[in-house]
Structure 1
Amino acid sequence: MSSALPTPTGPSAGPATGPTGAAAGPATGPVIPGATPSAALHPGRDRAVGLAIGLAAAAAFATSGPFVKPLLQAGWTPGGAIVVRLLIGAALLSVPTALALRGRFASVRANWRWILVFGLTGVAAPSTLYFLAVERLPVAVALLIEYTGPLLLIAWSWLRTRRMPAPGVLVGASLAMLGLVGVLDVTGAVALDPVGLVFAVCSALGNAAYFALSARPLTIPPLAMAGLGMWVGAVAVVLLGLVGLLPVAMVAGDVPMLGGEVPVWVPLLVIGVLPTAVAYGLSVISVRKLGERVASFVALAEVLFAVVLAWLLLREAPTLVQWLGGAAVVAGVALVRRFAEVSPDDLPPAAAHAEPVDEAAGRTPAARVTASADRPSPAPRR
């Protein structure tokens, strides 16, 4: 979930977002005068521009797996790659984070626990697990397994609340699971590493944690949550490397790519810039112009881009069965996002009631709403 960064969002003037990217209920606060989304002013033009930007964001997110695999083949460990990636991403987001927090530093103190949780479970864990999976599996297989994360939340909500999901959700979940059988190619035409599959499933759990965090209203700006969460994730993987729990090996020299060799800094720069700062910034603009739900569907194009990039860069061509299975997974997840709704009762208590913004943060209760168009789309962030 390629690792662009998820950001739990603040209270919204539009629909709240559930774990699957669907509307989760009514607005939680007043609309700020003059905060009309740009899509309301120029709907046709903004939708076309937003679609183009959303596709560009999906393509940027998709670069993570295909560009990290050559590093792994050259002797880098997933730990070494993720350390460099998160440090570059955190550095790039530092200035935007500081700007987003001007006059609102009290929001960091109010939400520090969720910043830590987000950094560990929404950034460090899924990013590292995805790279560990990509080391052993084709990029498309690892990505599609990770994309089943929202289905885990649906199952958890069903078990916890004893309420059956909507029929459309059940159809989508069934279609996605059937597609996953195709992706795994149980016919045996493709041998898949079982350890890699375990890592991919664990990355799906991290993806589910991302969606759960995205459903929790917080009072910190989304961009600041992304930047601070990135730093938490970077520090976490560095510490794991220092104590020996995460093997960190970095190899100088050229790496195999595009049928030849390229300097090692090329893939490092790509995974540190494109799937993080660039992709995140583009996704914010896309959601502003398209709205959350439409942007979340556009984000599914990440799978297609990842498959194409893996084929061009790594010569990883899925079998026909895997193509059909992948299409079913994407269609199933799209159905789940379309029909799933999460009520406040399905979420932890703090998710149903956002805590007021500290007056020291420069926000009064009447002005604490962040427009839903300011949120990044709920795509996996690896």
Structure 2
Amino acid sequence: MNMRTILFGWGFLLILMLLFSRVRVGWRHVKQLLLAGIPMISTSILYGYAVEQLPASLAVLLLFQFTWIGVILEAVMQRRFPSKGKLVSLVVLIAGTLLAGGVLEQSSGGWTLSGVIFGLLSAVSFALYIYLSGNIATDVPVLSRTFVMVSSALVLAMIFFTPSILFDGSIVNGLWKYGIPLGLLGIIVPVIFFAIAIPKVGSGLGTILSAAELPAAVIVSVTVLREHVSILQWIGIAVVLVGIAIPQMVSLLSKSHMKPADS
């Protein structure tokens, strides 16, 4: 997530707010949502530092530790031990991530301790973002929630990244052609759908579902960028998808076993 993505996404959200939202958000909720916007951009900043110091495959692997971090975070905050389905899912997801990320096929050279720390911090930040999305100000309408969170992320982005595109004329000189799809696909679609889904499914299961990002990225790299994907990576994608499905499969099986007892 870069400056262009956030800026154009924020602009689209502002238009949507002016057209469809008439709800005033109380200051208490605004403060909570501003807080939730911080890990939205800090994940990108921390991951960017990790990629500068680590092989891309290792940086991705560290970021995807958000799967088990998010489940543990939910368990600690809600004081409830994760279900067996979630625990099995996490083991499968970690194995699938190792394969899909191509980590086992590349050398581990070129990494630094600070890079590993930044990678793990990006995972913690993303897990925190998912948790806050599902547990803060959930009674506020989705557009209003998303707008306040992205506004917070935009302010932080202007602090860490030079907002030169606001003044150098690059937007009117052609940058808008790339900014529009980046804003729609990088902010509007994922953040709004996150805001809708996470309160419904819970942050723990939402974290597991978010692991679908890795198979999606690999598939796009093949279909759009024409990159080579090995057999092990395809196996890893299949394993990740199985890991994502496990909690729902366990839930369906438990419900089917309960039906005869209820009758």
Does 1:237 find its partner at 2:157? yes
In the aligned structure 2, how far is the partner of 1:267 from the partner of 1:133?
Answer: 25
Question: Secondary structure of 1:194's match?
Answer: coil
Structure 1 residue 163, shift from structure 2 partner: 5.4
Equivalent position of 2:68 in the other structure:
151
**Given the alignment, which residue of 223, 228, 231 partners 1:320?**
231
Structure 1 residue 197, shift from structure 2 partner: 5.5
Cα contact 1:130–1:142 (8 A) shared by 2: yes
In the aligned structure 2, how far is the partner of 1:279 from the partner of 1:164?
Answer: 28
Structure 1 residue 180, shift from structure 2 partner: 3.0
In the aligned structure 2, how far is the partner of 1:197 from the partner of 1:301?
Answer: 23
Equivalent position of 1:87 in the other structure:
7
Question: Secondary structure of 1:86's match?
Answer: helix
Structure 1 residue 117, shift from structure 2 partner: 0.9
Residues 241-320 of structure 1: pairs in structure 2 closer than 5 A? 241=161, 266-279=177-190, 283=193, 302-320=213-231
In the aligned structure 1, how far is the partner of 2:244 from the partner of 2:62?
Answer: 11
Which amino acid is 2:146 matched to? A
**Given the alignment, which residue of 112, 116, 123 partners 2:30?**
112
Structure 1 residues 85 and 183, CA, compared in 2 at 3 Å: closer, same or farther? same
In the aligned structure 2, how far is the partner of 1:320 from the partner of 1:328?
Answer: 12
Structure 1 residues 236 and 338, CA, compared in 2 at 3 Å: closer, same or farther? farther
Does 1:173 find its partner at 2:90? yes
Which amino acid is 2:29 matched to? N
Structure 1 residue 237, shift from structure 2 partner: 1.4
Cα contact 1:96–1:224 (8 A) shared by 2: no
In the aligned structure 2, how far is the partner of 1:232 from the partner of 1:193?
Answer: 34
Structure 1 residues 209 and 157, CA, compared in 2 at 3 Å: closer, same or farther? closer
Residue range with higher mean Cα deviation, 307-316 or 224-233: 307-316
Structure 1 residue 234, shift from structure 2 partner: 0.8
In the aligned structure 2, how far is the partner of 1:180 from the partner of 1:272?
Answer: 27
In the aligned structure 2, how far is the partner of 1:316 from the partner of 1:133?
Answer: 22
Structure 1 residues 182 and 305, CA, compared in 2 at 3 Å: closer, same or farther? closer
Aligned Cα root-mean-square deviation (Å)? 4.0
Question: Secondary structure of 2:161's match?
Answer: helix
Question: Secondary structure of 1:210's match?
Answer: helix
**Quick one: percent identity of the two aligned structures?**
22
Q: Which gives a bigger RCO, structure 1 or 2 (Cα 8 Å, sep 6+)?
A: 1
Structure 1: gaps of 5 or more residues: 4-81, 243-247, 253-262, 341-382
Equivalent position of 2:261 in the other structure:
none
Cα contact 1:133–1:199 (8 A) shared by 2: yes
Residues 47-66 of structure 1: pairs in structure 2 closer than 5 A? none
- State the aligned residue count: 234
Structure 1 residue 236, shift from structure 2 partner: 0.9
Which amino acid is 1:211 matched to? I
Structure 1 residues 133 and 317, CA, compared in 2 at 3 Å: closer, same or farther? farther
**Given the alignment, which residue of 223, 227, 235 partners 2:143?**
223
**Given the alignment, which residue of 121, 143, 155 partners 1:202?**
121
In the aligned structure 2, how far is the partner of 1:279 from the partner of 1:160?
Answer: 25
Equivalent position of 1:51 in the other structure:
none
Residues 356-371 of structure 1: pairs in structure 2 closer than 5 A? none
Structure 1 residue 115, shift from structure 2 partner: 1.6
Which amino acid is 1:224 matched to? S
TM-score (norm 1): 0.49
Structure 1 residue 339, shift from structure 2 partner: 6.0
Residue range with higher mean Cα deviation, 127-136 or 308-317: 127-136
TM-score (norm 2): 0.68
Structure 1 residue 153, shift from structure 2 partner: 2.5
Question: Secondary structure of 1:111's match?
Answer: helix
Structure 1 residues 100 and 171, CA, compared in 2 at 3 Å: closer, same or farther? same
